[in-house]
Amino acid sequence: MPKYLVFITVIGKDQKGIIARISNAVYKHNINIEDLNQKVMEGYFVMTMLADMSDSSMTIPELKKELSIIEKEMGLSIQVQHEDIFKAMHRV
Amino acid sequence: MEYSIEEVMETVKMTLYHNFDIRTVTLGINLKDCIHSDIDIFKSNVYDRVTDYGRTLVSEAGKLEEKYGIPIINKRISVTPVSLIVEACAEEDAPVQIAKTLDDASREAGIDFIGGYGALVQKGITRADALLIDSLPEVLSSTERVCAFLNVASTVSGMNMDAVIKLGKTLKEISNRTENGIGCTKFAVFSNAPEDNPFMAGAFHGIGEPDFSLNIGISGPGVVRSVVEKNRDCDLTALSEVIKRTAFKITRAGELIGRELAGNMNVPFGIVDISLASTTKVGDSVAGIVEMMGVEKMGAPGSTAALALLIDAVKKGGAMASGNVGGLSGTFIPVSEDSGMNEAVKAGALSIEKLEALTAVCSVGLDMVAIPGDTPAETISAIIADELSIGVVNGKTTGVRLIPVPGKKAGDYVNFGGLLGETYVMDVSTFSSRDFILRGGRMPSPITSMRN
């Protein structure tokens, strides 16, 4: 089955458990993590997670809804976007 | 494929902080095959076509917003110029009946504006064209979502001054029949109107188009402003390069979403319009870009050069990003819809004359300009003629959306509400152009049009 790749991106204040909670949420829904990066940029904690949703029964809006609980509880900004938009904008 | 964290976050931040969005997806629909001599059957054909495709457009665009996390602000429809499809109708109110049908169908489908209520009269006016022009005050005051256009000039045909005379009076009448003249915000007058423009009020589905065509308008003044802000010290050559790269990225996003939406709807993909389209949001302003480039207020000396550099860079980046660039693809400098433009008018930095100069080199027209309600019809016609002459002579599209505001004088404040914004009424010369305008006739096409 072809991969269905999405970027889960997080911006916010650095704190314990961000990656653990997001990883756990995606694991629960059979989403595979392909790549993970984190960094402090302009004073904010930033994380990008490339994940494959092809084995999951979840859709992007459903995953966003699930992650919005973590977003609210931890005071973060979490986005989920299909990889193609990054390919279009950053690769010729 | 690997991406750096900086690349990923650049895209994310564009949407989160710099108002990056797809400004409009506009589905062009051919209505020629809906024509019927029985007006009731004709209306029913039009209604079914627009509601059917309109609903699909709204739902499919919503799915892509979710998939890519990029808002698609407007979902709109443009149709075959209505004067053309009512030619065979005996009823004198056929244009009005079709306008009401389009309005009802758009409401039903959840489409906020539908364009195409107009005519191409650059060389002359048919019976149906005349009926449609006469109906504009009624249609624009009694419908909610119908947008109107008229093409009264072109480089190959010259300018139909009889139509221009009529327009001065028509605009005043539309204005008098609607609160604050708001009906005029839904009416654009053009020279060299493109057949695939996705932006309202002037969108229509031209006669050279297929049955359907999905056209997309990108946005991005906020994104461009932010990169200009980050590059405060570079020279203009380097700045042009930075803007070009940004324009490339936002156009690629538009191209991706446009193509996918067209594919999902099973209609042909038309064009990406790379115009920078501002909104009333602070920061999402073309004037804001020019000011960030170093001009104190939009309209000050240097504004024309700055705007010329801006749109040139946007075109170069956009053309590299999409093989289907079309529509207007200039820069919009609407006064009421761009908070920075509006501030410049308030500060006294920007006049109608300077706006006209800006449009000569880089933009698409005098857009959303409020003028005093007592401006004579002939002066309105003369402003239109001036602006459209720039288009005719330079072989480019120019448009005019003037709003004579009843009871208001220069400097007065007027709020059109929502996306249409707010503005200050601009000063108009009180010297008369009456005798020139009332000569009428057709201004011949310029010699530069003879290219064969």
Chain B partners within 8 Å of A62 (Cβ): none
Q: How far is B317 from chain A (nearest CA, A)?
A: 12
Helix, strand and coil percent figures for chain A, each rounded to 5: 35, 35, 25
Asked if the model's pLDDT at residue B1 lies above 80, the reply is no
Chain B residues within 8 A of A64 when measuring between CB atoms: 66
Looking at CA atoms only, how far is residue A13 from chain B in angstroms?
Answer: 16
Query: Is the pLDDT score of B383 beyond 70?
Result: yes
Q: Give Cα separations from B166 to B75, B99, B125, B304 (angstroms).
A: 32, 20, 11, 31
Amino acid found at A86 = F
Helix or strand holding residue B132 (H, E): helix B127-142
Identify the CA nearest to A81 among candidates B253, B251, B223: B253
Of A9, A61, A64, the CB nearest to B8: A9
The single-letter DSSP state of residue B418 is G
Mean pLDDT of chain B: 96
Q: Which residues contact B38 (CB under 8 A, 6 or more apart)?
A: none
Q: Which residues of B touch A50 (CB under 8 A)?
A: 3
Q: For the whole model, what pTM was predicted?
A: 0.95
> Beta-carbon neighbour count of residue B440 at 10 Å?
12
CB contact under 8 A, A90 and B3: yes
Q: Give the span between the Cα atoms of B409 and B352, in whole angstroms.
A: 15
Domain boundaries, chain A: 5-90
Q: Do B69 and A80 touch (CB under 8 A)?
A: yes
Per-residue pLDDT reduced to its tens digit, B44-77:
999 999 999 999 999 999 999 999 999 999 999 9
What CATH homologous superfamily does A5-90 map to? Answer: ACT domain (3.30.70.260)
Confidence check: pLDDT of B98 > 80: yes
Residue B368 has pLDDT above 70, yes or no: yes
Nearest chain A Cα to B11, which residue? A86
The answer, yes or no, to whether residue B372 has pLDDT greater than 90, is yes
Q: Which of B332, B285, B284, B269 is nearest to B25 (CA)?
A: B269
Q: pLDDT class for B2, splitting at 50, 70, 90? A: confident
pLDDT tens digits for B114-131?
999 999 999 999 999 999
- Stretch A30-52: mean pLDDT, rounded? 94
Phi (first) and psi of residue B145, to 5 degrees: -115, -5
User: Cβ separation of A85 and B69 shorter than 8 Å?
Assistant: yes
CA distances from B219 to B71, B253, B317, B333, B442 (A): 11, 10, 14, 13, 37
pLDDT in tens, B142-156: 999 999 999 999 999
**pLDDT by residue (tens digit) across B309-338?**
999 999 999 999 999 999 999 889 999 999
